[in-house]
A and B are shown apart, each in its own frame.
Chain A
């Protein structure tokens, strides 16, 4: 158990809908990262937050947004969902901003029908 928690574990929704994925980092970690894992693209970095501020951005679609709250938990919002958004979404955390060692949560499996 990495200490990173993610909810929900599974999410099934329809195209065009909006969902919110939640992540709680390990105790004391200030950085939160979001990744998407799909069969064709592999594990792709989406975005990083550090102590409430956006720190790094990857290939995150404009329909996706994230935020980190004062208690350091983070939410990833996915809107106008498409079939191709079906994937595993992982959250990871680390103590600082420039830390290579990231601890991954168990993931949220999103299915868009």
Chain B
């Protein structure tokens, strides 16, 4: 079982809709969570970084962490065709100090926003 599980999609939405993306994680000790966006044939870029439970908002993006259910979410409001990409959730491996650099990624969800 992977440490972070994510539905690969694809998820197709019309322009202007809210995109809702989710991941579940296995270890309740995980506290830091990220969302990366990856355009086709490009490297992942960091979108959001959250710590522990709660919400974090940045423009049209909201990241949410529910530690009680080990569930993380990303919402994209007023979606645009330029939001079409693969979105990956990730968490660092903090189990030992030697592994802090290791990011554990979900499979990534492909999002298509149609005009």
Residues of chain A at the chain B interface (Cβ within 8 Å)? 2, 4, 31, 33, 35, 42-45, 48, 50, 55-56, 58, 90, 92, 94, 97-107, 109
A98 & B102 in contact (Cβ 8 Å cutoff)? no
Number of interface residues of B (CB under 8 A): 24
| B102 close to A48 (CB less than 8 A) | yes
The 8 Å CB contact of B100, one of A4, A43, A56, A92, is A56
> Do B100 and A105 have beta carbons less than 8 Å apart?
no
- How many angstroms between the C-alpha atoms of A31 and B108 in the bound complex? 25
* B102 and A104 contacting across the interface, CB-CB below 8 Å: no
Give chain B residues whose Cβ lies under 8 Å from the Cβ of A103.
46
Chain A binding surface, main DSSP class:
strand
Contact at B108–A58, with CB atoms within 8 Å?
no
Could you tell me the distance between the alpha carbons of A48 and B46 in the complex, rounded to whole angstroms?
18
Q: Which residues in A have their C-beta under 8 angstroms from that of B100? A: 56, 97-98
